[in-house]
Amino acid sequence: MRHLLKTVSTAAAVAAGVLAASAVSTGAAGAATPGPASLYAPSDLVLTVGQGEDAATATVQRAVTLSCALKASGTHPAPSAACAELNSVEARFDKLVDASSTVMCTKEWNPVVVSAAGVWKGKHVAWTTTFGNPCEMRAGLANTALLNF
């Protein structure tokens, strides 16, 4: 009888160890592959204006954040209008730049770079454009809520 109790308690200890190891490995696997945080794909951008010829070397003068998932938010001054505009052009930023502006600007070379980087509806996006000077930038972006910040 004593031998039987020892065998049963050993078997119980082994089973408990297997269950504990199984729970730990399941927990680790579950932590490595988290479920989706929401039903909506992320749409978060950083928009910048910088002094220089390209975004990689420009000195950033202004930067804002914009999040368009569920509710428009961020540091952008008009997040709702910016998200609506971005949605209407399907994140094709070039469609927001007015190349045919009739505003008169000097022809001085004082380049300004405008860029957008982040995620739009779950896909990485990166866009940049360079204007010859601040006047050309204001003229080219006069009709856009997204790029006026």
Specify the pLDDT at position 22.
Answer: 40
pLDDT tens string for the chain (149 positions)?
444 434 334 334 433 443 344 444 444 444 454 555 556 678 999 999 999 999 999 999 999 999 998 899 999 999 999 999 999 999 999 999 998 888 899 999 999 999 999 999 999 999 999 999 999 999 999 999 999 99
Specify the CATH architecture of the domain 44-141: 2-Layer Sandwich (3.30)
Which pLDDT value is given to residue 100? Answer: 82
pLDDT given at position 6:
42
DSSP string across the chain = -HHHHHHHHHHHHHHHHHHHHHHHHHHHHHHHSPPPSSSS---EEEEEEEESSSTTT-EEEEEEEEE-SSS-BSSSSSHHHHHHHHHHTTT-GGGG--TT-----------EEEEEEEEETTEEEEEEEEESSHHHHHHHTTT-STT--
Domain range list for the chain: 44-141
